[in-house]
């Protein structure tokens, strides 16, 4: 049976130390803290979706994006995040501009990492 349209998504981001990462998700990204539980810190992602920041002993972040947001103005979002200490990644040979934006077919993307190195992104479509 397929999922009900009422089913709400839950995203998981693994961390070796969620206490180290909590301020980034709460204060830098501005996500609302819903609860702290023995197995994770739960944040509101909006639209009924939640994020569970979950401890995983010896977690090593992978090189690929684990969570992203669509924003109405990528340059404005980048300026806001930079004002909170976020540094955007520039990947050699990828064709990003000097600020770290990669554009193709009407889509613009930029990548940054959380304190543990989990890759996150923002995107502007259209």
Q: What is the CATH number of the domain that holds 115?
A: 3.10.180.10
Whole-number pLDDT of residue 1 = 64
Same domain, 43 and 79: no
Contact status, residue 86 vs residue 32, Cβ threshold 8 Å: no
Whole-number pLDDT of residue 30 = 96
For residues 34 and 50, give the distance between their C-alpha atoms in angstroms, rounded to a whole number: 9
For residues 28 and 86, give the distance between their C-alpha atoms in angstroms, rounded to a whole number: 8
Average pLDDT score over residue span 6-15: 92
Same domain, 116 and 88: yes
Taking only the tens place, the pLDDT of each residue in 36-74 is: 988 899 999 999 999 999 999 899 998 899 999 999 999
Taking only the tens place, the pLDDT of each residue in 113-123 is: 999 999 999 99
Which segments of 1-126 does DSSP mark as H helices, in order? 18-23, 74-83
Domain that holds residue 116: 65-126
For residues 112 and 101, give the distance between their C-alpha atoms in angstroms, rounded to a whole number: 11
Per-residue pLDDT at 5 exceeds 90: no
Same domain, 34 and 71: no
What b-and-e string marks burial along 14-46, b requiring 16 or more CB atoms within 10 Å of the CB?
A: bbeebeebbebbeebbebeeeeeeeebbbbebe
Identify the residue with better confidence: 84 or 1: 84
């Amino acid at each position: 049976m397929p999922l009900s349209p009422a089913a709400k998504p839950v995203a998981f981001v693994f961390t070796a130390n969620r206490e180290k990462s909590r301020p980034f998700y709460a204060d830098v990204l501005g996500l609302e803290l819903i609860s702290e539980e023995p197995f994770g810190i739960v944040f509101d992602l909006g639209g009924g979706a939640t994020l569970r920041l979950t401890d995983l002993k010896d977690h090593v972040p992978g090189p690929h994006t684990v969570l992203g947001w669509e924003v109405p103005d990528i340059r404005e979002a980048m300026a806001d995040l930079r004002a909170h200490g976020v540094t955007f990644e520039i990947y050699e040979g990828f064709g990003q501009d000097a600020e770290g934006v990669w554009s193709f077919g009407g889509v613009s993307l930029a990548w940054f990492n959380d304190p543990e190195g989990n890759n996150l992104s923002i995107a502007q479509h259209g």
